Amino acid sequence: MKHLSSRSPREPSCSATRVPPRPFRRGKTKYREEVLDRTFAALADPTRRALVARLGDGESLSASELAQPFAMSLPAIIKHLDVLSDAGLIAREKTGRTVACRLTAKPMEQAMDWLNRYQRFWSDNRPADAAAGDAVAGSRQGPR
């Protein structure tokens, strides 16, 4: 096959179209990172954290029961539940017209395992951080 341009057939037409290679990751590590990403992304929203807290008693609640204290529509709550479900944080079971939701432990356990690896940073530095925080709080109050 003859090429009409002066560039070689393997060169991209523009350097901007070139995607740098991704660093090598093992399959299981990549999966764990994706689970953590979805878990933390789902929990980044205060409404979703409040929904998780409502399910924290261990009992199943319907979507409409979960929506009661919120000043938003049921479809909006269901979209939040979709994000939590996609992250694996909740399981939903449909019985007739009712959708019951309950917490699932696995993604939370993985997130806690990841956070616990860094616990020494806040537990080892706590006395110094507390003293620094007290000094900042005292300087903000000003003279009495």
Lowest-confidence segment of 17-21, 50-54, 109-113 by average pLDDT: 17-21
Number of domains in the chain: 1
What are 93's strand-pairing partners?
A: 100
Domain with 111 in it: what CATH number? 1.10.10.10
Q: Tokens in use for 14? A: 């523009």
- With respect to residue 15, please indicate whether it lies within any of the assigned structural domains: no
Is the pLDDT score of 81 beyond 80?
Answer: yes
Angle CA(13)–CA(17)–CA(18) in degrees, nearest 5? 100
- With respect to residue 79, please indicate whether it lies within any of the assigned structural domains: yes
- Look up the pTM and report it: 0.63
- With respect to residue 116, please indicate whether it lies within any of the assigned structural domains: yes
Three-class SS state of 72 = coil
